[in-house]
Amino acid sequence: MKRKGMAAIGVAAMMAGLVACGSGDGGTADGDKKLTVWVMDGSAPKEWVEELNKEFEAAHEGVTVEIEEQQWNGIQERITTALSEDAPPDVIELGNTQTAGYAVTGGLADLTDIKADLNYDNWNKGMLPSAELDGKLYAAPWYAANRVVIYDKKIYEKVGVEPPTNRQEWIEGLEKIRKSDKDVQPIYLPGQSWYVFAGFLWDEGGDFAVEDGDQWKGALATPEAEKAISFYKKLQSFSKAPKDTDEATPQQSTDVVPKGDVASWIGLGWEAAGAVEAIEKAGGEADFGYFPIPGKTSEKPGSVFFGGSNLAVAERSTDKELAQEWLKAATSEKWMKKYAEATAGGLLPNTEAAQVRPESGSFAEAMVKASGVGNITPVTPGWANVETEPNPIKEYMTKVLKGTDPTKAGEEADKVISERINKS
């Protein structure tokens, strides 16, 4: 999943200045060892990675750590090629929905034997599943982020609406906004925001696909999915957004929200930051508030999709032991806490103990409140095939929003999901 700039408001372009060099050959001319680490653009703050590598190199005489920054565009093909070479990068950042696909090919080192050294038992339970496959550990969770509701404080205050704590209060507030001003969208919610729908689906106890023997099958033609899409449809009725596009078409944060007349929307930290920048650039003043996506009751927030990354060691690394040592350090509680501090709480570290206290009223504060109910898509190598356009989940959502019976639309989607997810 692409997550460029996922950090919350105020986190700068974190990767600026990272050295993009090194050939992944595992050594230098004088015999000293070189460890090559691939990280994605927007993932590792410059100061954090420099301090980490300085300490690591001091503890491992003769070792130099080379950081190579990668772009998300085309990354899957580059990683696939790199993992098949004799001297691949030693440590690689992988999207959490991509990890299983690389693990099944044999490209990633099995880390099961060092689980204890990696602080496995204390990892965020929502991040952990993406790092495992068939009972074995192939990566360490690094960071994640989730969506929250972003609202215009002025509109909410004018109408007299308070941030809700459950779905009923949420709907009541949107109704109140709609009745008060016909020109204002109570919420901007495109018909195909399937990451938002995922949370509603998990709240109902459902999922996109379930295991069926040694195969997987789609699970949208179910009572759980029908309840989830019914709530999504109700929520989407308060929006003027298209029913056949997602949040990026048009980009809600920069192409829709800055034009005004949007009381609330659901987005990531980088989207909130983008909206603020666009509004201020146009001479306006952004005044956003944030709250977790409400749950069915006030006892806990609604479930959220965790978008994030893992760190893995290449099976063909020329020094897997050294690579594992760097991985242990980078994902340790000590360095994860420093990571959370460096990103101003805008990204969730892999353990709750490393989470910093976010600023009151910030996007990060709302995000952290929902971090305990984070989840990911089915962990199987074939899941990447499901997300390929045309995405059957998106098509299912549009059909239901336009009047198709949820069961019929679900059966059509399940056929495609089942076919794609079982492809190698």
Beta 348-349 vs 140-145: how paired, if at all? antiparallel
Spell out the residues 6+ positions from residue 323 whose beta carbon is closer than 8 angstroms to its own.
Answer: 35, 90, 91, 109, 313, 314, 317
In a domain, 153, yes or no: yes
Cis omega (within 30 of 0) for bond into 141: no
Determine contact, residues 387/408, Cβ cutoff 8 Å: no
Helix (H, G, I), strand (E, B) or coil at 247: coil
Per-residue pLDDT band for 373 (boundaries 50, 70, 90) equals very high
User: How high is the pLDDT of residue 281?
Assistant: 95
H/E stretch holding 179: helix 167-180
Per residue in 260-279, is it b (16+ CB within 10 Å) or e — as a string? Answer: eebbbbbbbbbbbbbbbebb
Q: How many CA atoms lie within 13 A of 312 on its CB side?
A: 31
User: 53-105, pLDDT tens digit by residue?
Assistant: 999 999 999 999 999 999 988 898 999 999 999 999 999 999 998 899 999 99
Determine contact, residues 396/409, Cβ cutoff 8 Å: yes
Is a pLDDT exceeding 90 seen at residue 10?
no
Same domain, 228 and 83: no
Same domain, 121 and 252: no
Cα 240 from Cα 197, distance rounded (Å): 17
User: How high is the pLDDT of residue 73?
Assistant: 80
pTM for the predicted model, two decimal places:
0.85
Cα separations in angstroms, 93 against 131, 215, 313, 342: 12, 28, 9, 18
User: 396-424, pLDDT tens digit by residue?
Assistant: 999 999 999 999 999 999 999 999 999 96
Per-residue pLDDT band for 21 (boundaries 50, 70, 90) equals very low
Per-residue pLDDT band for 20 (boundaries 50, 70, 90) equals very low
Same domain, 212 and 254: yes
In a domain, 138, yes or no: yes
Tell me the percentage of the chain whose pLDDT exceeds 70: 92
Number of folded domains that form the chain = 2
User: How high is the pLDDT of residue 87?
Assistant: 93
Same domain, 250 and 223: yes
In a domain, 393, yes or no: yes
In a domain, 9, yes or no: no
Same domain, 274 and 385: yes
Q: Which of 273, 209, 266, 107 is nearest to 420 (CA)?
A: 209
Same domain, 197 and 343: no
Is a pLDDT exceeding 70 seen at residue 23?
no
Same domain, 197 and 136: no
Cα separations in angstroms, 215 against 131, 180, 211, 218, 249: 20, 51, 6, 10, 34
In a domain, 14, yes or no: no
Q: Whole-number mean pLDDT of the chain?
A: 91
Determine contact, residues 331/350, Cβ cutoff 8 Å: yes
Q: Which of 200-209, 297-306, 326-335, 350-359 has the lowest mean pLDDT?
A: 350-359
Cα 272 from Cα 288, distance rounded (Å): 8
User: How high is the pLDDT of residue 41?
Assistant: 86
Same domain, 403 and 381: yes
74: which DSSP letter?
A: T
**Average pLDDT for 123-139:** 94
Helices (H) and strands (E) in the chain, counts: 14, 15
Structure tokens at 184: 């204002």
Same domain, 244 and 389: yes
Same domain, 58 and 205: no
User: How high is the pLDDT of residue 32?
Assistant: 83
Same domain, 387 and 292: yes
Cα 10 from Cα 181, distance rounded (Å): 32
In a domain, 107, yes or no: yes
User: How high is the pLDDT of residue 74?
Assistant: 85
**Average pLDDT for 291-319:** 96
User: 169-194, pLDDT tens digit by residue?
Assistant: 999 999 999 999 999 999 999 999 99
Domain ranges, residue 154:
148-304+377-421
User: How high is the pLDDT of residue 388?
Assistant: 87
Cα separations in angstroms, 186 against 8, 61, 173: 23, 59, 8
Alpha helices in 206-319 (DSSP H): 223-236, 269-281
Same domain, 81 and 161: no
Q: How many CA atoms lie within 13 A of 279 on its CB side?
A: 21
Is a pLDDT exceeding 80 seen at residue 273?
yes
CATH code, domain with 326: 3.40.190.10
